[in-house]
Structure 1
Amino acid sequence: MKIAIAQLNPIIGDLSNNAQNIEKAAQLAVNKNARLLLTPELSLCGYPPKDLVLNPSFIENLSIELQALAVKIPPGLAVLVGTVTKNPNANIRGEKQLFNSIALLENGSIKQVFNKRLLPTYDVFDEERYFEAGRQSNFFELLPNSQTSQTLKIGVTVCEDLWNDEEFWGKRSYEDNPIQDLVKYGVDCIVNLSASPYSIGKQKVREAMLKHSAERHQIPIIYTNQIGGNDDLIFDGNSFAVNRKGEVILRARGFQTAVEIVEYNQNNQDLDQSYMAEFSQTEEEEIWSALVLGVRDYAQKCGFSQAILGLSGGIDSSLVAAIAAEALGSKNVLGILMPSPYSSQHSIIDAEALVNNLEINSYTLPIGEVMKSYDSLLKPLFVGTEFGVAEENLQSRIRGNLLMAIANKFGHLLLSTGNKSEMAVGYCTLYGDMNGGLAVISDVPKTRVFALCRWLNRHQELIPHNVLIKPPSAELKPDQVDQDSLPPYDILDEILDRLIHHHQSIKQIEAAGFDYAIIDKVVKLVTRSEFKRKQAPPGLKVTDRAFGTGWRMPIASRWKLD
């Protein structure tokens, strides 16, 4: 029996478009003689719909669209569709009004509904805000048709339902284990419909986890995942299947829509070997694919076809420009050079070289005279004070104003270019270089920015060589370099990783060989900069701990890390 996996890229709230894509996938599945089609979690409305589900009309329209889709499914094909359904017992039992559900569509009607049991509330997830947990795991019987004589008992799980194997994790995060429950029912195969966001290396964890579960319970598992960018989240797809031995026998290509086929062999009651896409060769390749997809989808789903960014001749803006050119096409990217009296000649040359290498559009707006106007206007108020951070930041704010004006005038998406290291310690200017509709590399540390640019240059020079070798500088005063204010980035990024990703204390970081004074300074900068991060544009998430929807730190706090 052939089972199709539809790796789809839904647009949140665009119910008719999402339904059409499911219908197209259903037709492809029929053309490949599939008996069952799997689609991702909440495939009909897109994940995560967030507070849209609190709108009663949204839920009603979902129900109407689901009923209409059921009628359009080709005869002989069963389809599992992710949707939201009402909880009929909510008011009686004091429960949430909705379920995160999977609907089984076949022969023109909704045959069965399965409700997600494990509702994550960590990191970017907040599902208990909206949904009631399903009370039990369930299965359905896939009856024979003209293509097959076998009946399959298929257990249905939704995303997090897979992530509670105490043998794999060394603990249970939830009371229930849906996989164990389904095994007790004697199912032939388990399917999982997911919307699992991307982070570096996550696919290897998914595959290891499912290999363990399949081998432990001697049951094949098929996993389908959403792809696409939705706000700060990127979904990588990488749908796959494992046989009873825990061997990966199918893997769809990451970061692309796809419909793949896996076949259940009744003779050995297992899945046969199928298509195997390769893993990304390096983490840099993986991150690049994620960021390009994130920019492309954010722009298109928000109605932008062109992007603008400031080009300083530095490493960060160079990388963002390259990502934008790949995502939107070179002709749709406008780089603005805004040299000041403190800008070095080599930075201007480097920015111009980048423009030529990427074949993007550019325009130069010198800001020297504008700076003089600001100085003249503020002179009576600033009299008797010394040149300092306020005057330095004026340059960034002038540039930010110019970029916003151009973006506003021509309807471009403004991309901000700050990296994670800068966002962490506040080495960025509110209403200046932080201006933008999307922070492309705000979850990419400075050292990783350099690594990505070196990887990008592996075949030809896209990022000018001088950009890779010169000391990073904001160039807001004469001979300025970042290390005037910050530790070397290799040291800074290691401290930040221990602090942000591993929640280590100052004592633990010091025990790892770092200087106490540097650690203390970094911790204070991170704490004091929270107000800036709260006002930053959404940033694409590529790690397991980003400054986005999953980062919930207070601004007004007197807690001191020890």
Structure 2
Amino acid sequence: MSQTVRIVMAQIDPKVGDIAGNVKLILQTLQTAKSEHKADIVVFPEMTITGYPPEDLLLRDELYLQVNSALEEISNACENIACVVGYPMMDELGERFNMAAWIADGAYQASYIKQNLPNYSVFDEQRYFNAGNQPCVVEYKGVKFGLLICEDIWKVTPAIQSVEAGADVILNLNASPFSAEKHQDRLQTLQRRVDEINKPIIYVNQVGGQDELVFDGGSFAMSADGEVCAQSPEFVPALTPVEIFKQADSIVLMPSLLAPLHDDEPRVYEALKLGLRDYVRKNGFQGVVLGLSGGIDSALTLAIAVDALGADKVKAVMMPFEYTAEISKEDAQAQAQALGVEFESIPIAPMYQAFENALSQTLDDEVGITEENLQARIRGTLLMAISNKTGYMVVATSNKSEVAVGYSTLYGDMVGGFSPLKDVPKTWVYRLAIYRNTLSEVIPERVITRAPSAELRPDQTDQDSLPDYDQLDAIINAYVNEDLSPSQIAQLGYEIDEVKRVIRLIDRSEYKRRQAALGVKISHRAFGRDRRYPVTNGYSES
């Protein structure tokens, strides 16, 4: 006897802590999946009800009362349909668990406790949860489904347990954050799992931005042969149907929608857009304001902001001084006009002169680091004043290369509520700017081709203080991302004294990074929750 079951992968964008709003989104999704896709089962991401990661909200007892009410409301809405939804649970002993609920035909029928609790990189699940050790397999319309949660699929034991308990198909709920290589890692991991268990896996991922994390979606269904039979788009909410055909002991995933996946540059660009858009939207800002210098970092940041929010939600401010080149002024204004954003120029010379007069006993005629920082801090103060008056959040424009070595000014160009390029190396800034101009030419060509400069003193270029960016980014990657020692990095072909100098700059700049704005994580080792170094420490390597 044959049986067909229609599953919808519900790739949605919940908001952390907004349980009422998330339940409303879940109920709307169930209705749409039923009416438009004829769904038998709707599979939601990990921790759908609270959003992920809820962090120390999980320590609030009231949270679990709200979650229990949410589960009851969702159960009442599941008439003639089933769903799998993620949530946290606290038992009568006060122990907490990361759960998946099977809800069908108006009732909460079964649940699964996550077994593998990640405690690396951005994950702190062992801080909050206890681990499960049992499979959960449910039968619906003649097909047996095994439930797993995120990290469980990266280990072989939970999947084998499910199959041994009778599962025909694995349903895997995920809140898997974006990094540039992550989707390929997911595909390779699931191919290993299906080789081991010889069963199909349906992988449903969250989408949306949450502080520095971006969830890229990209949900997919993989057959027992390791073929992707259904693929959801990246970076947008989506409902993607997957049809399962069962005949005797044979399970077949029917071919379905295969959304195209992004190439490298557009994938990172979309992640930056989504991270900024959701941070602004979910935190209730009216829009964003940024300093547009005529350089490539602010130029790329402006393009991302407009693409993410719309030109009417973005204000650009040029703040020239005597060291600002005319072409910087021209290029900044040209880009603002090309993107259709509100643009204002505020010369800072009068303010600088007032500070210089007030500090006449301290400053001298020579332009040094104090005078350079003073210019940056005047600009930061102006941007924050505009932010306070308009409700627009200041967007910082520093890139990862600058953040790494401290080539930025505390309370100056570092001010802001969010920093889209914080995890984007300078070499990638150029790649993304070139990519963005293939969509429409909004970044003036000479912004991309001229030598980068902070324009804080006469004839200044970045390479007066830093190595060439190709070399700098390679050393930063080796030390920060790969944890290589100075001697190991030198063996890659870099001069040992230059390697040591860059490493000293990285280590000495931790105190700045601790005070910096959040920014989108795109690498597997971003500064912040990924890489946690003590500010005060005496460690060094020979």
Q: Who is 2:58 aligned against?
A: 53
Per-residue CA deviations over 1:121-154 (Å, capped at 9, x if unaligned) read 0000000111111121221111x3xxxxxx1111
Q: Does 1:157 align with 2:160?
A: no
1:494 paired to 2:474: yes
Tell me by how many angstroms 1:332 deviates: 1.1
Matched position secondary structure for 1:379? coil
CA distance in 2, matches of 1:553, 1:164: 29
For residues 146-171 of structure 1, what are the alpha-carbon distances to aligned partners after superposition, in whole Å with 9 as ceiling and x for unaligned?
A: xxxxx111100000001124xxxxxx
Q: 1:409-442: CA deviations, max 9, x gaps?
A: 1100110000000000000000000000001100
| AA aligned opposite 1:69 | I
Residue 381 of structure 2 corresponds to residue 401 of structure 1: yes
Q: Which amino acid aligns with 1:38?
A: V
2:58 counterpart of 1:67: no
The alpha-carbon deviation at position 357 of structure 1 amounts to 1.5
Deviation at 1:453, TM superposition (A): 0.4
Give the RMSD, CA atoms, in angstroms. 1.2
Matched, 1:284 2:265: yes
Matching residue's letter, 1:449: V
1:307 aligns with 2:307: no
Structure 1 match to 2:307 = 326
**CA displacement at 1:381 relative to structure 2:** 3.1
Q: Is 1:437 the counterpart of 2:417 in the alignment?
A: yes
Name the CA distance, whole Å, in 1 between partners of 2:288 and 2:42: 37
| One-letter amino acid of the counterpart of residue 364, structure 1 | S
Q: 1:119 maps to what in 2?
A: 117
Alignment of 1:89-488 (within 5 A): 89=93, 97-142=95-140, 144=141, 151-165=142-156, 177-267=157-247, 268-280=250-262, 282-382=263-363, 386-488=366-468
Aligned length: 535
Stretches of structure 2 lacking an aligned partner (at least 5 in a row): none
CA contact (8 A) 1:403 1:414 kept: yes
My pick for the range that moved more, 398-407 or 31-40, is 31-40
Partner amino acid, structure 2, of 1:114: Y
Q: Which residue of 2 aligns with 1:172?
A: none
Identity %: 40
User: Shift in Å at residue 459 of structure 1?
Assistant: 4.2
Match among 498, 510, 516 for residue 518 of structure 1: 498
Amino acid in structure 1 at the alignment position of 2:350:
E
Q: Secondary structure at the match of 1:413?
A: strand
Q: Tell me which of 25, 38, 41 is aligned to 1:33.
A: 38
How far off its partner does 1:29 sit? 2.1
Matching residue within 464, 470, 483 for 1:503? 483
Contact 2:137 2:166 in 1 (8 A): no
Q: Which amino acid aligns with 2:151?
A: E
Q: Could you tell me the TM-score, scaled by structure 1's length?
A: 0.94
Secondary structure of 2:503 counterpart: helix
> Which stretch of structure 1 is more off in the superposition, 258-267 or 470-479?
258-267
SS at match of 2:362: helix
Deviation at 1:28, TM superposition (A): 2.0
Q: What is the distance in 1 between the residues matched to 2:533 and 2:68?
A: 37
Give distance in 2, aligned partners of 1:255 and 1:520.
39
Give how far 1:551 is off.
2.0
**Does the 8 Å contact 1:342/1:477 carry over to 2?**
yes
| Residues 211 and 248, structure 1, Cα contact 8 Å, conserved in 2 | no
Question: Quick one: distance in 1 between partners of 2:367 and 2:521?
Answer: 37
For 1:517 and 1:399, the matched residues in 2 are separated by: 35
* Matched-pair contact (CA < 8 Å) for 1:237–1:253: yes
Displacement of 1:523:
0.3
CA distance in 1, matches of 2:283, 2:388: 15
Question: Structure 1 stretches of 5 or more lacking a match?
Answer: 91-96, 145-150, 166-176
After TM superposition, give the deviation of residue 181 of structure 1 in Å: 1.2
Is the CA contact (8 Å cut-off) linking 1:399 and 1:432 kept in structure 2? yes
Tell me the CA shift for residue 114 of structure 1. Answer: 0.9
Q: Give the superposition deviation at 1:66.
A: 1.4
**1:107 Cα deviation (Å)?**
2.3
